[in-house]
Amino acid sequence: MTFAILLAGSLPAPAQAQADASSCRDVTIPVQLAGLLPQIVHGRLCEPPGGARTVQVLVPGATYDSVYWDAAPDPETHSFRLAMNKAGYATLALDRLGTGASSKPPSALLTAFTEAGVVHQVIQAVRHGDVGSRFDKVILGGHSLGSAIAMLEAGTYHDVDGVLITGLAHHINPPGALIVLGSFIPVALDPVLSRLGLDPTYLTTQPGSRYAAFHAPGPEVPEMTAYDEATKDVVAPGELLDAAALGTVLPYSWRITVPVLVVLGGGDGGLCGPLATDCTSSAGLLQSEAPYYSAAARLRTYVLPGFGHSINYAPNAPDYHQAVTHWAGTMGLAG
């Protein structure tokens, strides 16, 4: 617990804003999904000047794609990608199958388990230098559903050097979770995404629900809420079922044998509550989550106060970005 308290309260002051000198390019990685022809995973690979020893492979959550990690409005505040590049890490932000510029198979074929197998193939491609650069270490990071996928991947394949879990814990707060689940509609009913010709069994969020589902109780910033709505994507029902059934994730989190950092928004209504996850402090979160990880994970935690689920959109997001780089440095995962 002492480490968690220090992490929350004793980080050095953020550096002044610097120009974005990162080198970014789109990459496509062939993967195999059982029973189908090869699929394509799209990612955005960004590297700091001079390259990096460590790459963070980033998996977005339900109804998000790679844009979540590199939000355009006020990137100095909201772009996780930019913060990590400035700290010396390369980033590879992925579009999950079904989203963004990745292949869009029938949604019935997609679960958190199948997506974890796909991410494993991506990591192997990264390890082999197939994305054009070679890295010594790989940190697998996720948000929400992406964190469930990261847990499953790391606990199954043991091919990464660190795991970042954001927006996911092992206890659900039912009243808050119902608000999120109640926001989902078939993609065919969305006035914008219905035009993409997707399998109609994909889901997205109903227009106007993003703030209540993913930002509250943080301050409502119209620009960020509008951006979140304009860049929303889809999710397969099977992915949601896997992520919600945390009993399927539990044994996999215990099997992770590399350092883990768990980060939650202090107001994440779907996870935080007196009978759910303790999000009142980083130490409280550590106590809640510690039973679900082995000693090998050297679990560390961080709570970003005052915001809900999608913490990259929080006005104080740089505090959590800095906590990530602090953790990675102390765990020997520096970029």
pLDDT tens-digit profile, the chain (335 residues): 333 323 433 333 333 345 789 999 999 999 999 777 799 999 999 999 989 999 999 999 999 999 999 999 999 999 999 999 999 999 999 999 999 999 999 999 999 999 999 999 999 999 999 999 999 999 999 999 999 999 999 999 999 999 999 999 999 999 999 999 999 999 999 999 999 999 999 999 999 999 999 999 999 999 999 999 999 999 999 999 887 775 556 789 999 999 999 999 999 999 999 999 999 999 999 999 999 999 999 999 999 999 999 999 999 999 999 999 999 999 999 87
**How many angstroms separate the CA atoms of 244 and 96, rounded?**
18
Tokens of 284: 């409280």
Positive or negative, the CA dihedral 154, 237, 169, 43 is: positive
**CA 85, CA 277: separation in Å to the nearest integer?**
31
Q: What pLDDT is recorded for position 310?
A: 98
Cα 100 from Cα 283, distance rounded (Å): 36
Per-residue pLDDT, 8: 34
Instruction: For residue 62, give the amino acid letter.
Output: A
As given in the structure block, the two tokens for residue 13 are 């002051």
Could you tell me which of 66, 113, 69, 153 has the C-alpha nearest to residue 243?
Answer: 113
Task: Report pLDDT for 1.
Answer: 36
Predicted pLDDT of residue 20 = 87
Q: How far from 167 is each of 93, 152, 171, 193, 218, CA to CA, in Å? A: 17, 15, 12, 25, 15
| 3-class SS letters over 33-53 | CCCCCCEEEEEEEEECCCCCC
User: E strand or H helix at 230, and its extent?
Assistant: helix 222-230
Which amino acid would we find at residue 254?
W
Here the tokens at position 124 are 């192997």
Per-residue confidence (pLDDT) for residue 200, from 0 to 100:
96
Number of helices (H) and strands (E) in the chain: give both, helices first: 12, 10
pTM > 0.85: yes or no: yes
Answer for the pair 88, 222: CB distance below 8 angstroms, yes or no.
no
Structure-block tokens of residue 111: 């679960």
Percent of the chain residues past pLDDT 90, beyond the cut: 88
Instruction: Please provide residue 133's backbone torsions phi and psi, each rounded to the nearest 5 degrees.
Output: -135, 155
Give per-residue pLDDT as tens, 93-120. Answer: 999 999 999 999 999 999 999 999 999 9
In Å, the largest CA–CA distance within the chain is: 52
CB 90 within 8 A of CB 47: yes
Tokens 């100095």 sit on residue: 76
C-alpha–C-alpha distance, residues 140 and 60, integer Å: 11
Pairing of β 137-143 and β 300-304 = unpaired
Distance of CA 181 to the CA centre of its chain: 18
Q: Which pLDDT belongs to residue 253?
A: 95
3-class state of residue 11 by DSSP: coil
Spatial CA neighbour of 103 closest among 131, 122, 85, 87: 122
Rounded distance between C-alpha atoms, residue 212 and residue 218, angstroms? 10
Cα–Cα distance between 159 and 317 in angstroms, integer? 29
